[in-house]
Amino acid sequence: MAGPGPVSKSMIDPFGRAISYLRVSVTDRCDFRCFYCMSENMTFLPKADILTLEELDRLCSAFVAKGVRKLRLTGGEPLVRRGIMSLIGSLSRHLKNGALDELTLTTNGSQLAKYAGELHDHGVRRINVSLDTLDPERFHAITRWGDFDKVTAGIEAARAAGLAVKINAVALKDLNEDELPDLIRWAHDKGMDLTLIEVMPLGEMGESRLDQYVPLSLVRARLAQHFTMEDVADRTGGPARYVRIRETGGRLGFITPMTHNFCESCNRVRITCTGTLYTCLGHEDSVDLRAPLRASASDDLLAAAIDRAIGAKPKGHDFIIDRRHNRPGVGRHMNVTGG
């Protein structure tokens, strides 16, 4: 657990960074088993340990009151959480009153055909969809349980509903590197941004991280053989750095926690579905917000716990792929922290 830090009146960390972006996992469960995210035979948390929808609403609202302007719901897969639309509908009040600039989510796309219209009705205007390949056989190999046609149908439903879709793709060594140019062309042809992400050393999978990891500096050099890339200053509130592809006119992002970290501009914290606050994805230090949330109907204890956590936020992450011991930099799986 993180040690007590100084109590602050606003969410400014010890390095002067304003915390304005909150990522909240609403469930650790998922209908896929992507091999870089979780093991195939996962043991999920008991439902009694998971925050209720009402508690998630109260927790998110406390952060909005303290200056969060962007709220992203994650999982696991957020759209498999029972009653999730009631939570999104309730949180949309912060959009309507101007306290929140954006309410969004990251999804695997499996449930979008069902929920896209309702998401738009609740004020969601932009979503991220995780999709690492356009090859159905590769898709099945990566996700283990996923249905490629269902995901692509969900993406089309989202676009038809008026949602801007950004595709997130993890660059996987010797698995999808060869088709990244096609993935870029496909996304840009549909007017969607694409962001490439390096494998992060989170959780034991029974797979070697060295077998999965490819540095995006190398990926970018290879892409330069296909495309003309022009650096742009565009930012979307997250860690991606963007280029414009001259040949397609579309935007390509790079998230590089390993080769070029983005800690100096970090404006975000993460909360798990059990109410555990991680001020850094790459650290094990955490603060329990569930206890103060449940201890009082007032938010005073909760606000104090948040302030102490922000006061102890580290300068940067400790991500490293451990070549000597072949173990992850952080023991918890990505679905535990939130995607």
- Show pLDDT as tens, one digit a residue, over the chain (339 residues): 344 444 445 799 999 999 999 999 999 999 999 988 888 888 899 988 999 999 999 999 999 999 999 999 999 999 999 999 999 999 999 999 999 999 999 999 999 999 999 999 999 999 999 999 999 999 999 999 999 999 999 999 999 999 999 999 999 999 999 999 999 999 999 999 999 999 876 545 445 555 778 999 999 999 999 999 999 988 776 788 999 999 999 999 999 876 555 677 788 999 999 999 999 876 678 999 999 999 999 999 999 999 999 998 988 755 554 444 444 444 544 545 555
Residue 162 lies in a domain: yes
The total number of structural domains that make up the chain: 1
Helix axes 180-189 and 216-223, enclosed angle (nearest 10): 70
pTM metric for this prediction: 0.87
34 burial type by CB count under 10 A (0-12 exposed, 13-18 middle, 19+ buried): buried
Residue 116 lies in a domain: yes
Three-class secondary structure assignment of 223-246: HCCCCCEEEECCCCCCCCEEEEEC
Residues in the chain: 339
Beta bridge mates, 188: none
Residue 149 lies in a domain: yes
Residue 170 lies in a domain: yes
| CATH number, domain containing residue 217 | 3.20.20.70
How far apart, in whole angstroms, are the C-alpha atoms of residue 312 and residue 206?
33
Instruction: Give the amino acid at 59.
Output: L
Residue 10 lies in a domain: no
Full DSSP string of 126-157:
EEEEE---S-HHHHHHHHSS--HHHHHHHHHH
pLDDT given for residue 11 in this prediction: 94
∠ CA 276-210-285, nearest 5°, is: 20
Residue 14 lies in a domain: no
Range of the domain at 189: 21-337
Residue 2 lies in a domain: no
How far apart, in whole angstroms, are the C-alpha atoms of residue 202 and residue 331?
6
Full DSSP string of 188-208:
HHTT-EEEEE----BS--SS-
Q: Which two tokens stand for residue 99?
A: 């306290």
pLDDT given for residue 338 in this prediction: 57
Residue 12 lies in a domain: no
The answer to whether the CB of 227 falls within 8 A of the CB of 248 is: yes
